[in-house]
C-alpha cells in the first residue's frame, strides 16, 4: 500500500468530506475516478507506485499524546491498514485520523474498528451509479454543512 505524501494529496481527500468513523478512528476517503485524479503526474512518469492502487495517509495530532504515544498509534494504524488492505476497493485514497482516545485503546479494539471501517469504505466504493461513492453519505446529520 502506497502512502499519501503531499499536502495537496491530503487536502484533496479531506476536502471531499466523505468519511466513516468509530470511537477511536475516523477514515476520510476518496474512491474511484476522484482518487485517480488525485495522483501526481510525476509519480506515474517516474514509475513510482501502482497507477490506480490504494494509498493511505495517517493524521495523528498532538491531542493524542506526546511523540512516543503518537508514533505508537501510527505504527498500530499502519499495521492494521496492511492487515485489512484486501477489503478496500482497488482504487482509493484514505486518510486515517486518530482520535485522542486511540492512545488508550487496546490493539484488539482498534483492529475491530479498522476492519469494520474498511468494510464500510468498500461498500461506499462499490455503490452502483455513484461515481465517487459520496452521494447521500452524510445527508441528514444535524449541524452539517451541505
All structural domains of the chain with their residue ranges: 2-125
Question: Cα angle vertex 97, ends 57, 144, to 5°?
Answer: 120
Helices and strands: H and E segment counts in the chain: 5, 5
Q: For 75-106, how does the pLDDT look when each residue is reduced to its tens digit (9 = 90+)?
A: 999 999 999 999 998 889 999 999 999 999 99
**Whether the model pTM is above 0.85:** no
* CATH of the structural domain 2-125, one choice from 3.30.230.10, 3.40.50.720, 3.30.870.10, 3.40.50.150: 3.30.230.10
Strand partners, 19: 28
**Cα 108 from Cα 34, distance rounded (Å):** 32
What mean pLDDT comes out for the span 57-79? Answer: 98
Amino acid at each position: 500500500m502506497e502512502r499519501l505524501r503531499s499536502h495537496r494529496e491530503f487536502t484533496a481527500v479531506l476536502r471531499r468530506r466523505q468519511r466513516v468513523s468509530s470511537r477511536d478512528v475516523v477514515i476520510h476517503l476518496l474512491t474511484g475516478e476522484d482518487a485517480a485524479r488525485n495522483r501526481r503526474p510525476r509519480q506515474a512518469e517516474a514509475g513510482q507506485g501502482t497507477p490506480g492502487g490504494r494509498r493511505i495517509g495517517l493524521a495523528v495530532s498532538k491531542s493524542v499524546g506526546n511523540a512516543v504515544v503518537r508514533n505508537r498509534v501510527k505504527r498500530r494504524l499502519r499495521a492494521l491498514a496492511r492487515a485489512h488492505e484486501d477489503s478496500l476497493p482497488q482504487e482509493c485514497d484514505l486518510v486515517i485520523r486518530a482520535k485522542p482516545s486511540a492512545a488508550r485503546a487496546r490493539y484488539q479494539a482498534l483492529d475491530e474498528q479498522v476492519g469494520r471501517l474498511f468494510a464500510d469504505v468498500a461498500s461506499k466504493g462499490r455503490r452502483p451509479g455513484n461515481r465517487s461513492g459520496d452521494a447521500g453519505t452524510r445527508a441528514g446529520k444535524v449541524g452539517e454543512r451541505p
